[in-house]
A and B are shown apart, each in its own frame.
Chain A
Amino acid sequence: MNPGMESKIGEFEPLLRVSGLSKQYVQQRPFSRKKIAVTAFQDVSLAIFPGKTLAVVGESGAGKSSLARCIALLERSSAGAIELGGRNLLGLSGKELFAMRRQVQLIFQDPSSALNPRLTAGEIIAEPLLIQGEGTKSQQRSRAMRLMEQVGLDAAWEHKRPLEFSGGQRQRLAIARALALGPRLLILDEALSNLDAANQTLILKLLAELQAAHSLSFLHISHDLRLVSEFADEVAVMYQGRIVERKTTRKLFASPEHSYSKELLASVRSVESILLERSA
């Protein structure tokens, strides 16, 4: 039995349902005909309900980011199905897919490579609106400025370029861009890992407000279990390309079953316990 299928929260239909999803990469060495298949993840099933947050945690190389990219349809999965609001995304035509893409937005770990350095902040946020042909130029601009304020940036900075912002501010920009089209699902791929503790708290608060206001769903990919515990409803633990355990956050902290989950929980340490160990 696949552990991803067991637990269901709420009676509502899930916004996103992923079943039996797999991804293999084929590598080929230069000057060699031999191909090596590397399995990123295998037989992953999960569901996310409207207004809820599912966190996927695991070590580097576990396949978390590949999973995020496949769900966002940035990469073709090798097998399985992805349903959004009851429609199978993998069977859609290009045109239908284009319309669906606005419902799923991605925020990456590294904002400096996710933002075009030649565009201004305002242009970056308005770009999704431009691509989807939404509103007039001036409407797009005022929406971009409103979004900047929503994520804690001064709207007067709309003419600045990404390089003029600090790492934390750039991530806020990326979040503003992701929100521009009013998506239903946000995929946060380590989106908070580059922020300092004070900013993390602020962004978490912002995300929680947005979630409550628009019934947004989050798929939060992270290695930071402590961070995840602060706002995920459910946690799926990924280990070597498979989901080995999936539970509500509270249950996972109280009674982890898989040996890797236990190990992961043991690595969540408080400053107090570290200081105690150092003085010993």
Chain B
Amino acid sequence: MQALLRVQDLNIAYRGAGRSRHHAVQNVSFEICEGEVVGLMGESGCGKTSIALALLGLLSAEQVDVSGSIQFRGEELLSKDRRALRAIRGAGISLVFQEPELALSPVMNVTDQVAEVIHAHNDWKWERCRADAESALEHVGLSDSRRIFSAYPHQLSGGQRQRVVLAQALACKPALLIADEPAASLDARSQSEILALLGKLQRELRISILLISHAPEVQATLADRLMVMANGRIVEQGPFEQLYRNPTHDCTRAMLRAAAPASVTEDMDFEMVT
């Protein structure tokens, strides 16, 4: 398998007042192969989202120092200018944020918002973009209902909004999808639906996914390989099952062990329920 993304010695430091620096990510190196799902876990504040933002060139140079190397399809992203990055964002690498409320414009109907992404990357007429947007929305489980296509984000539930964001991210068939807690705001049923959908699309389109999630169940469902972060560093990585069975680092143990059913559910017959 060929490496689609190669990150080497990535350092991310946020500038504070005066000369103070907050080192969010330190000497992080990893690779993502074509068609591979790589999970990224770690407690809040350990630098997961900083990595996601750096991969898309979304960290402002005035406030953040980024050093190291990020190669996507063999090209160095850190030296690319604004314009080149814009062509990659959405079409090469796209991102699903944790909070759909912040990712969507409140004053545009959802079909237009998805069409806008398609329009930005293709020289197509608006009508064609809209038609494509509607099929992208159908793909993520928002079925052909006029109400949803012409709805504004505030008229949809949180789960439906997250699907719109997913449709946006997948509309231009990117090679790499960064999913930052894609299912955290969904209820149990749509969560498993979205994960199943992500898995299906990933196999069909052979896209790679960097899956950021602190939920062991989510990682278990999709991740081929898992990376565990603590205090800005990757402390352990390997196949998911290997880390789950034999974690060597305390942090891995805490992140994965916390998933074990607590005493309330432990003494119940889980076989019956599942």
Q: Check if A and B associate.
A: yes
Q: Which A residues contact B (CB, under 8 angstroms)?
A: 27, 58-62, 65, 109-110, 112-113, 165-169, 190, 193-201, 223-226, 229-231, 249-250, 253-254, 263-271, 273-275, 278
Contact B258 A197 (CB under 8 A): yes
- Chain A residues, CB < 8 A from B273: 253, 265-266, 268
Contact B265 A113 (CB under 8 A): no
Most A C-beta atoms less than 10 A away, residue of B185, B187, B214, B261: B187
Contact A197 B214 (CB under 8 A): yes
In the assembled complex, how far is the CB of residue A80 from the closest CB belonging to chain B, in whole angstroms? 22
For chain B residues 89-121, which have a beta carbon within 8 Å of chain A? Answer: 98-99, 101-102
Contact A112 B99 (CB under 8 A): yes
Contact A271 B216 (CB under 8 A): yes
In the assembled complex, how far is the CB of residue A110 from the closest CB belonging to chain B, in whole angstroms? 6
Q: A268-B274, A275-B241 are known contacts. Are A194 and B216 too (CB-CB below 8 A)?
A: no
| The residue from B43, B99, B185, B260 contacting A196, defined by CB atoms under 8 A apart | B43
Subset of 8 A-B contacts with CB under 8 Å: A59-B189, A196-B43, A250-B268, A270-B270, A270-B274, A271-B259, A274-B217, A275-B244
Contact A223 B255 (CB under 8 A): no
Contact B274 A197 (CB under 8 A): no
Residue of B nearest to A167 (CB): B44
In the assembled complex, how far is the CB of residue A137 from the closest CB belonging to chain B, in whole angstroms? 25
Stretch at the interface among B123-131, B132-140, B157-165, B171-179: B157-165
| The residue from B41, B45, B244 contacting A271, defined by CB atoms under 8 A apart | B244
| The residue from A60, A168, A270, A274 contacting B187, defined by CB atoms under 8 A apart | A60
Residue of B nearest to A267 (CB): B188
Q: A197-B216, A200-B258 are known contacts. Are A59 and B190 too (CB-CB below 8 A)?
A: yes
Contact A168 B157 (CB under 8 A): no
Which range contains the number of B residues in contact with the other chain? 35 or more
Q: Does B262 contact A (CB under 8 A)?
A: yes
Contact A110 B261 (CB under 8 A): no
- Give the distance in Å from the alpha carbon of A167 to the alpha carbon of B52 in the complex: 15
- Chain A residues, CB < 8 A from B241: 275
- Chain A residues, CB < 8 A from B159: 59-61
| The residue from A196, A253, A266 contacting B255, defined by CB atoms under 8 A apart | A196
Contact A274 B191 (CB under 8 A): no
Provide the main secondary structure of the chain A interface: helix
- Chain A residues, CB < 8 A from B264: 229-231, 249-250
Q: Which B residues contact A (CB, under 8 angstroms)?
A: 41-45, 98-99, 101-102, 155, 157-160, 181, 184-192, 214-217, 220-221, 240-241, 244, 254-256, 258-262, 264-265, 268, 270, 273-274
In the assembled complex, how far is the CB of residue A255 from the closest CB belonging to chain B, in whole angstroms? 10
Q: A273-B274, A275-B220 are known contacts. Are A197 and B187 too (CB-CB below 8 A)?
A: no
- Give the distance in Å from the alpha carbon of A268 to the alpha carbon of B259 in the complex: 11
- Give the distance in Å from the alpha carbon of A253 to the alpha carbon of B190 in the complex: 20
In the assembled complex, how far is the CB of residue B23 from the closest CB belonging to chain A, in whole angstroms? 14
- Give the distance in Å from the alpha carbon of A256 to the alpha carbon of B188 in the complex: 16
- Chain B residues, CB < 8 A from A195: 44, 214
A194-B98, A198-B43 are known contacts; what are 16 more A-B pairs with Cβ within 8 Å? A59-B159, A59-B187, A59-B190, A65-B158, A113-B101, A168-B45, A197-B215, A223-B187, A226-B261, A231-B264, A263-B189, A264-B189, A267-B189, A268-B273, A269-B217, A275-B241
Contact A60 B158 (CB under 8 A): yes
In the assembled complex, how far is the CB of residue A249 from the closest CB belonging to chain B, in whole angstroms? 7
| The residue from B160, B181, B192, B265 contacting A230, defined by CB atoms under 8 A apart | B265
- Give the distance in Å from the alpha carbon of A164 to the alpha carbon of B260 in the complex: 32
In the assembled complex, how far is the CB of residue A75 from the closest CB belonging to chain B, in whole angstroms? 14
Contact B188 A225 (CB under 8 A): yes
- Give the distance in Å from the alpha carbon of A265 to the alpha carbon of B272 in the complex: 10
- Chain B residues, CB < 8 A from A225: 188
- Give the distance in Å from the alpha carbon of A76 to the alpha carbon of B241 in the complex: 50
Residue of B nearest to A65 (CB): B158
- Chain A residues, CB < 8 A from B45: 165-169
Residue of B nearest to A263 (CB): B189
- Give the distance in Å from the alpha carbon of A249 to the alpha carbon of B263 in the complex: 13
In the assembled complex, how far is the CB of residue B271 from the closest CB belonging to chain A, in whole angstroms? 9
Contact A58 B220 (CB under 8 A): no
Most B C-beta atoms less than 10 A away, residue of A199, A269, A271, A273: A271
Nearest 9 pairs of A and B residues by beta carbon = A168-B44, A60-B159, A166-B45, A196-B214, A223-B187, A61-B157, A197-B258, A267-B188, A59-B187
